[in-house]
Amino acid sequence: MESCAVLQDACGDIAKIQQQQTPAAATPATASSLPFASHMAQLVVGSVQVTLRVLKMNGSTLIFLGTTDAERVDEFAMAMPSRPPSKQIVSTTFLGESGQSDSLVLANKLAMRYGRQFYVSFNLQMDAVTRAQFEAALVSYMQKNLEMFV
């Protein structure tokens, strides 16, 4: 019982501290100041229709790419720039085949281009030509809607 009272006192103190740090007349949050912002779009490349889901977070971006008929996670990888002054990318695969998976390759390209941490789940089966066309369409879409990604 004594530990519960101590815990409640500690939680009460934390709540008081947080209340003191929050200004009374706070300004409304804008999309760029929110810790998370989500976005969804459909990209069409040739005969392939792709669902693009984005979760932009402080310092990183999660991108899910899948077909419109079956959204599932087959692969999941992360890449981020290493600490300066190096221009190397550090990456890993969380789910799927180890090695150069489609998710890992795309995460590396995006981290290198935008200098930001990217989590990517690329769940599409494409040949080399369609994949190149899709990547070009994705980059074009990202440049037009950069505030949704970076």
Cα 73 from Cα 106, distance rounded (Å): 15
pLDDT of residue 51: 93
CATH class of 36-148: alpha beta
Residue 65 host element (H or E): strand 60-67
| Block residue for tokens 């769940």 | 123
Q: What is the pTM assigned to this prediction?
A: 0.73
Write out pLDDT tens, residues 81-115. 998 777 899 999 998 877 788 999 999 999 999 99
Cα 19 to the chain's mean position, in Å?
30
Sheet holding 36-45, edge to edge: 36-45, 48-57, 60-67, 117-123, 76-81, 89-95
Low-confidence spans in the chain with pLDDT less than 50: 1-31
pLDDT at 17: 33
Using DSSP, state whether 77 is helix, strand or coil: strand
pLDDT at 33: 60
Is-contact 55 117, C-beta < 8 A? Answer: no
Domain boundaries, the chain: 36-148
Residue 81, pLDDT score: 93
Q: What is the pLDDT of residue 32?
A: 53
